[in-house]
Chains A and B, each alone.
Chain A
Amino acid sequence: MSQDKIKGLQKSKSGIDGLDEITGGGFPKGRPTLICGSAGCGKTLMGIQFLVRGIIDYNEPGVFMSFEESQKDLNQNVHSMGFDLNKMISQKKLRIDHIVIEKSEIEETGEYDLEGLFIRLNHAIDAIGAKRVVLDTIESLFGGLDNASILRSELRRLFQWLKAKGVTAIITGERGESSLTRQGLEEYVSDCVILLDFRVIDQIATRRLRIVKYRGSTHGTNEYPFLIDETGISVLPITSLKLEHKTSSEILSYGFDDLDKLFDKGGFFRGTSVLITGSAGTSKTTLSSYFALSSCRRNESTLYFSFEESPDQLVRNMMSVGINLKPFIKSKKLFIHSSRSSLQGLEMHLLVLHKLIKELKPRTVIIDPISSLVTVGNSSEVRAMLVRLMDILKVNLINALFTSLTHEKGNDYSDLTVDAVSSLADTWIRVSNDEMNNVRKRNLSIVKSRGMGHSNLVWEFTIDNKGIKIKKSA
Chain B
Amino acid sequence: MKKKNIPVLIADDKLVLQLYVSGMSPKSMEAIGNIKKICSGLVEDSFKLEIIDLYKHPELASEQQIVFSPSLIKRLPLPKKTLVGTFSDTEKVIRGLGIPIKE
Contact = CB atoms under 8 A, between A and B. Distances in A.
A124 B62 contact: yes
A123 B86 contact: no
Contacts of A101: 65, 67
A99 B34 CA distance: 27
Interface in B49-91: 54-55, 58-59, 61-62, 65-71, 79-89
B42 interface: no
A99 B58 contact: no
B87 A110 contact: yes
Interface string A103-121: 0011111111111110110
Contacts of A97: 62
B62 A106 contact: no
Contact of B86 (A109, A115, A119): A109
Contact of B88 (A99, A100, A102, A110): A110
Given A106-B84, A120-B62, A123-B59, A112 B69 contact: yes
22 contacts: A97-B62, A106-B83, A106-B84, A107-B84, A107-B92, A107-B96, A108-B85, A109-B93, A109-B96, A110-B31, A110-B87, A113-B68, A114-B69, A115-B22, A115-B25, A116-B66, A116-B68, A117-B68, A119-B69, A120-B58, A122-B58, A123-B59
Nearest to B61: A120
A116 B22 contact: yes
Select the residue from A101, A110, A114, A120 with max chain B CB neighbours within 10 A. Answer: A110
Nearest to B63: A120
B61 A105 contact: no
B22 A105 contact: no
B62 A141 contact: no
Interface residues of A, number: 25
Given A112-B86, A113-B69, A119-B55, A105 B80 contact: yes
B88 to A, nearest CB: 4
Given A97-B62, A112-B27, A105 B81 contact: yes
Contacts of A106: 82-84
Nearest to A97: B62
B88 A116 contact: no
Contacts of B86: 109-112
B21 to A, nearest CB: 9
Interface of B: 20, 22, 25, 27, 30-31, 34, 54-55, 58-59, 61-62, 65-71, 79-89, 92-93, 96
A105 B62 contact: no
Nearest to A109: B85
B62 to A, nearest CB: 5
Given A113-B68, A115-B22, A107 B58 contact: no
Contacts of B82: 102, 105-107
Contacts of B92: 107, 109
Of all A-B residue pairs in the complex, the 4 with the closest CB atoms, nearest first, are A110-B85, A123-B58, A115-B69, A110-B86
Interface string A82-108: 000000000000000101111001111
Nearest to B21: A115
Given A109-B84, A117-B67, A119-B61, 5 more contacts: A105-B82, A106-B84, A110-B31, A112-B70, A123-B62
B68 A114 contact: yes
Interface in A118-157: 119-120, 122-124, 141, 145
A68 to B, nearest CB: 14
Contacts of A124: 62
A113 B27 contact: yes
A141 B68 CA distance: 10
Given A97-B62, A116-B67, A123-B58, A107 B22 contact: no
A110 B65 CA distance: 20
A119 B85 contact: no
A397 to B, nearest CB: 53
Contacts of B58: 119-120, 122-123
B74 to A, nearest CB: 10
A62 to B, nearest CB: 16
Select the residue from B59, B69, B86 with max chain A CB neighbours within 10 A. Answer: B69
A100 B64 CA distance: 10
Nearest to B28: A115
A117 B20 CA distance: 12
Contacts of B55: 119
A109 B83 contact: yes
B65 to A, nearest CB: 5
Contacts of A117: 61, 67-68
B54 A109 contact: no
Interface string A27-40: 00000000000000
Given A106-B82, A107-B84, A110-B87, A116 B96 contact: no
B84 A112 contact: yes
Nearest to B66: A116
Nearest to B68: A112
Contact of B85 (A105, A111, A114): A111
B85 A99 contact: no
A114 B89 contact: no
A116 B71 contact: yes
Contacts of A114: 67-69
